[in-house]
């Protein structure tokens, strides 16, 4: 069975052979707007669960891979803020440079040498154009079982696609990334500290790889600057977090997404970083208490309040990077006051967040009910009943992600047969 957008990614792979042939895509439950990865873009359009989509995912697509080094990876961070880097194609072979020249900014040195810096904005433009070509070809030659493309938008350096799959609508936030094996030199000191995951998972699992994602700092150069992302490591660390703390995190996230959305300052990624720091700081036997979810929720609210008042939220992997440094005093105090109202009556705010989710679910069911009573054969089908298997496919994907919490889910695609994706969950293949 083919797997929705992942088939499109395989077709892009074949289009101009820019993408690595043996590529690996990291699939994460939740979209970029949900704070799944450390990307905070002003250009992101607002989509609402229930109105625009029913399920959301983030797909990290490596445009380049550097997987042949055993020593710590040293990046060119001379021009960047902490947690950011430029990427020179000098790290790669001549064939790669030739292939990607048109997606680089060029810097000529006094000695006559030319340096090509991989540009996140140009890569995103190329990827959006490639996706558009592939989708146009699919619409010219529709195949049975292919999902209906309801929306394709470029949001800064992110490509957002909403697919209609049976009666479900699935949002994919596609992020072109640079993938590395090993660990960045700038985060080496973090490994020397004691952490809550020590003895629970191996260091090799935690430092198996990292990414550069297309997001610059607030004063950086958008055409050149990438942000370091530890998404693969974060998936591994989730294995070591108790279910009650994860429940508290999800509840706190639901509250702050609505309450602290304007002006944009705090994202769920900040909250996740605070949770990881709390795991390092607090006793393991306390965090393991199964009935302490309410305590943990209050603790997360207090930690967030403390971070806002002090305008200090260290990145978990690179602590010298303060993720709130750019905010104005007015903004942090505004959000701190909002959080004070949450702290005074957290139950009421949580009930409000739950009602928002219920309303979105009711809207989804109503739209599905209307669709089932007025549906006509799709031009992408042969008139047969394809809604049911398509729905199964969508639910299978959701089930795959939700039944494997804390596990790294990757998808391998053979560009010569894009109808057969290959899942890997941690070290097991399916």
* Domains of the chain: residue spans and CATH: 1-235+408-429 (3.30.460.90), 241-344 (1.10.1410.40)
How far is 7 from 198, CA to CA, in rounded Å?
38
- Is it true that the peptide bond before 396 is cis, omega within 30 degrees of 0? no
How far is 406 from 411, CA to CA, in rounded Å?
16
Please tell me whether residue 41 adopts helix, strand or coil conformation: coil
How far is 61 from 214, CA to CA, in rounded Å?
11
Name the pTM for this structure: 0.80
Quickly tell me which residue has 């699935």 as its tokens.
170
| Predicted pLDDT at 374 | 38
Quickly tell me which residue has 């990427």 as its tokens.
87
Strands 84-85 and 226-229: antiparallel
| Predicted pLDDT at 398 | 53
Quickly tell me which residue has 């990757």 as its tokens.
410
Buried b (16+ CB within 10 A) or exposed e, 413-426: bebeebeebebeee
Residues whose CB is less than 8 angstroms from the CB of residue 299 and which lie 6 or more positions away in sequence, other chains included: 248, 278
How far is 267 from 90, CA to CA, in rounded Å?
35
Residues whose CB is less than 8 angstroms from the CB of residue 346 and which lie 6 or more positions away in sequence, other chains included: 255, 297, 298, 301
| Predicted pLDDT at 391 | 44
Residues whose CB is less than 8 angstroms from the CB of residue 4 and which lie 6 or more positions away in sequence, other chains included: 147, 163, 165, 170, 172, 393, 394, 397
| Predicted pLDDT at 263 | 67
| Predicted pLDDT at 4 | 53
How far is 68 from 404, CA to CA, in rounded Å?
29
Q: Where are the alpha helices (DSSP H) in 266-415?
A: 268-281, 284-287, 293-310, 329-344, 346-374, 387-402
Please tell me whether residue 173 adopts helix, strand or coil conformation: strand
How far is 332 from 338, CA to CA, in rounded Å?
10
- C-alpha to C-alpha distances, 156 to 125, 159, 174, 311, 372, nearest whole angstrom: 9, 8, 11, 27, 35
Low-confidence ranges of the chain (pLDDT < 50): 1-2, 372-394, 397, 406-408, 411-419, 421-423, 426-430
Please tell me whether residue 370 adopts helix, strand or coil conformation: helix
| Predicted pLDDT at 5 | 57
| Predicted pLDDT at 406 | 46
Please tell me whether residue 142 adopts helix, strand or coil conformation: coil
């Amino acid at each position: 069975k083919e797997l929705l957008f992942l088939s499109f990614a395989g077709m892009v792979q074949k289009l101009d052979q820019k993408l690595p042939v043996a590529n690996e895509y990291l699939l994460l439950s939740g979209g970029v707007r949900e704070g799944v990865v450390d990307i905070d873009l002003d250009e992101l359009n607002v989509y609402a669960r229930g109105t625009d989509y029913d399920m959301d995912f983030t797909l990290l697509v490596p445009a380049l891979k550097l997987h042949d080094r055993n020593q710590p990876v040293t990046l060119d961070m001379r021009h960047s803020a902490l947690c950011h880097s430029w990427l020179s194609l000098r790290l790669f072979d001549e064939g790669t440079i030739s292939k990607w020249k048109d997606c680089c900014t060029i810097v000529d040195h006094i000695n006559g040498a030319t340096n090509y810096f991989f540009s996140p904005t140009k890569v995103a433009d190329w990827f959006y154009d490639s996706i558009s070509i592939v989708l146009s070809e699919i619409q010219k030659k529709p195949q049975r079982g292919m999902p209906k493309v309801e929306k394709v938008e470029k949001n800064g350096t992110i490509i957002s696609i909403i697919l209609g799959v049976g009666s479900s609508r699935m949002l994919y936030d596609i992020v072109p990334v640079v993938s590395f094996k090993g660990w960045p030199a700038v985060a080496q000191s973090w490994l020397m500290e004691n952490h809550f995951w020590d003895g629970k998972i191996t260091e090799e699992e935690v430092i198996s790889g990292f990414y550069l994602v297309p997001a610059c700092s607030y004063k950086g150069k958008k055409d050149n600057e990438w942000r370091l992302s530890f998404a693969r490591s974060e998936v591994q660390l989730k294995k070591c977090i108790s279910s009650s703390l994860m429940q508290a995190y999800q509840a706190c996230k639901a509250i702050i997404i609505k309450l602290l959305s304007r002006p944009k300052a705090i994202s769920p990624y900040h909250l996740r970083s605070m949770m990881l720091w709390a795991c390092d700081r607090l006793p393991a036997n306390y965090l393991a208490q199964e009935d302490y979810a309410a305590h943990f929720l209050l603790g997360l609210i207090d930690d967030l309040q403390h971070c806002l008042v002090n305008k200090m939220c260290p990145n978990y992997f690179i602590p010298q990077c303060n993720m709130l440094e750019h905010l104005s005093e007015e903004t942090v105090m505004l959000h701190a006051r909002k959080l004070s109202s949450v702290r005074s009556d957290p139950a009421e705010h949580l009930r409000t967040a739950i009602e928002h989710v219920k309303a979105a679910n009711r809207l989804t069911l109503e739209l599905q009910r209307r669709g089932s009573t007025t549906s006509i054969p799709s031009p992408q089908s042969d008139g047969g009943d394809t809604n049911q298997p398509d729905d199964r496919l969508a639910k299978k994907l959701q089930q795959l992600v939700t039944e494997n919490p804390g596990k790294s889910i990757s998808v391998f695609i053979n560009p010569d047969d894009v109808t057969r994706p290959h899942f890997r969950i941690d070290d097991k293949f399916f």
